Chains A and B, each alone.
Chain A
Amino acid sequence: DSGVTQTPKHLITATGQRVTLRCSPRSGDLSVYWYQQSLDQGLQFLIQYYNGEERAKGNILERFSAQQFPDLHSELNLSSLELGDSALYFCASSVGAYSPLHFGNGTRLTVT
């Protein structure tokens, strides 16, 4: 158990809809990262937050947004969903900006 909690585990929704994925980091970890894993693209970095502030941005679409709250949990919002957004979305946390990552077990999003 990595200590990182992601909810929900599975999500099935229709194209055009909006969903929110939630992540609770390990106790004491200030950094939260979001990754997308699909069969053809591998694990792609989306965005990183450190203590509530956005720290780095990767290949995150404009339809996606994220935030980290004062209690350090994070949410990833995906809107105007398309079939191609179907993937596993992982959250990871670390103590600091250059520390090893601890991953949650992911949210499997299926867009139909």
Chain B
Amino acid sequence: TQLLEQSPQFLSIQEGENLTVYCNSSSVFSSLQWYRQEPGEGPVLLVTVVTGGEVKKLKRLTFQFGDARKDSSLHITAAQPGDTGLYLCAGAIEGGANNLFFGTGTRLTVIP
């Protein structure tokens, strides 16, 4: 069962463009994490959001947790080729152990 759906699945944009990736679920999560994975490597944590409505910024990346803690978005401003990778959202179920449920992933390619 896939609890987290990400959209779009694939995204190819030109350097300098802005983009938004969405992560949606019908489940409530106690926290939500975003990871980036590059070929041949494991996912690397970018950010954790825990409060409904929370917004976190990491340089050109802005992460938002939905008010109801069921969805999240990742916005990248002025994308660069170094942003290329697989972006994964992952949610921790309320009251559960830290076994994260990962989203389906968004594969981003930024063309120079």
Contact = CB atoms under 8 A, between A and B. Distances in A.
A99 B98 contact: yes
Interface in A57-112: 58, 90, 92, 94, 96-106
Contacts, number: 62
Contact of A2 (B31, B42, B48, B92): B42
Nearest to A55: B97
- Which DSSP category, helix, strand, loop or mixed, fits chain A's interface? strand
Contacts of B98: 31, 33, 48, 56, 94, 96-99, 101
Interface residues of B, number: 24
- Which DSSP category, helix, strand, loop or mixed, fits chain B's interface? loop
B33 A100 contact: yes
* Most chain B beta-carbon neighbours within 10 Å: one of A44, A55, A102, A103: A103
Given A42-B88, A103-B35, 6 more contacts: A4-B42, A33-B99, A43-B43, A48-B97, A48-B98, A48-B99
26 contacts: A2-B42, A33-B99, A42-B88, A42-B103, A42-B105, A43-B90, A43-B102, A44-B102, A45-B101, A45-B102, A48-B97, A55-B97, A56-B96, A56-B99, A58-B99, A92-B42, A97-B98, A100-B33, A100-B45, A100-B48, A101-B33, A101-B100, A103-B35, A103-B43, A105-B42, A106-B42
Interface of B: 2, 31, 33, 35, 40-45, 48, 88, 90, 92, 96-105
